[in-house]
Amino acid sequence: MSHQLQAVIFGAIGTIAETSDIQRQAFNAAFAAAGLDWHWNAQLYRDLLKINGGQQRLRAFRDAAVDRMGVTDTQIATLHQAKTELYAAMLDRYPLRPRPGVVETIEMCRSNNIQVALCTSTAMANIEGLKAALAELLPFDKFAAIVSIESLERTKPAPDAYIHCLNQLGLSADRVIAIEDTPVSIAAAKTAGIFTIATPGATTSDQDFSVADLVVPDLTGMTLDRLAALLRQPASISG
């Protein structure tokens, strides 16, 4: 079959596995360990996920109330590092599995010489934790590129992560489809000129995904024919 598609890029850990609530619990554990009375319930965390990046969320939460403003940016960085370590430990105790259709989509791409990549604004330590948790289920060693925040000057919604990923893959944007789970990250892919499929997660399903080219609950039943055809369709379709 002839098609233009040459790579599928997963744009976040959350497009591969549902990890948001584990991360929320890790944040709360870091707050408690630091002696802070901060607590993020499920609804608050859903709201904070509209902000991209863990340290950015922490700073936004701090700046939202006068009694939190004594926490410095250095302490924010320390909190985030503690959260990352707690999150990795928690992943070892959770029966984490890939989201529906993810394994099948990756296997389909690899068997048809289509590259697979991961392009995030999260820390490499979080990616390593996911790789360890899903080591027996997903071939991360076969990913053609993995982008983390350490290689970026600007996080999403800036397109830097995707531009860096495209450079690593040696591809132009019109040969690639991105899978994303937040509107902020979709904006990054779209700014880079990439056709974007939204698969909203459990904690982002109430957000506005109208900027995506295609919105689906997950990748169940996704075929190579459909992926290839998507590149020839107009933007902003749904179903």
Confidence class for position 234, pLDDT limits 50, 70, 90: low
Give this prediction's pTM: 0.86
The CATH classification number of 20-91 equals 1.10.150.240
Give the CATH fold of the 7-18+98-230 domain: Rossmann fold (3.40.50)
Rounded-to-integer distance, Cα 115 and Cα 43, Å: 36
The residues spanned by each domain of the chain are 7-18+98-230, 20-91
Q: Which of 103, 104, 95, 91 is CA-nearest to residue 138?
A: 103
Rounded-to-integer distance, Cα 22 and Cα 7, Å: 29
- Amino acid identity at 189: A
Q: What is the pLDDT of residue 139?
A: 87
Regarding predicted confidence, which is higher, 157 or 29?
A: 29
Confidence class for position 2, pLDDT limits 50, 70, 90: very low
Q: Percent of the chain beyond pLDDT 70?
A: 96
Helix (H, G, I), strand (E, B) or coil at 139: coil
Sign of CA dihedral 78, 79, 82, 88: negative
pLDDT at 236 over 70: no
Rounded-to-integer distance, Cα 189 and Cα 208, Å: 16
Q: What is the pLDDT of residue 95?
A: 83
The most distant pair of C-alpha atoms in the chain lies apart, rounded to whole Å, by 61
Length of the chain: 239
Tokens of 66: 């006068």
Rounded-to-integer distance, Cα 83 and Cα 66, Å: 23
Among the residue ranges 29-38, 56-65, 158-167, 199-208, the one predicted with the least confidence is: 199-208
7-18+98-230 and 20-91 share one fold: no
Rounded-to-integer distance, Cα 58 and Cα 99, Å: 27
What are the tens digits of pLDDT across the range 150-204? Answer: 988 888 889 999 999 999 999 999 999 999 999 999 999 999 999 999 999 988 8
Tokens of 186: 């979709």
Mean pLDDT of the chain: 91
Q: Give the mean pLDDT of 225-231.
A: 88
Q: Give the mean pLDDT of 65-71.
A: 94
Q: What is the pLDDT of residue 233?
A: 65
Q: Which of 213, 207, 210, 208 is CA-nearest to residue 227?
A: 213
Q: What is the pLDDT of residue 103?
A: 96
Contact, 197 vs 221, CB < 8 A? no
pLDDT at 238 over 70: no
Regarding predicted confidence, which is higher, 92 or 55?
A: 55
Q: What is the pLDDT of residue 51?
A: 86
Q: Give the mean pLDDT of 65-80.
A: 95
pLDDT at 96 over 70: yes
Q: Which of 39, 33, 40, 37 is CA-nearest to residue 67?
A: 37
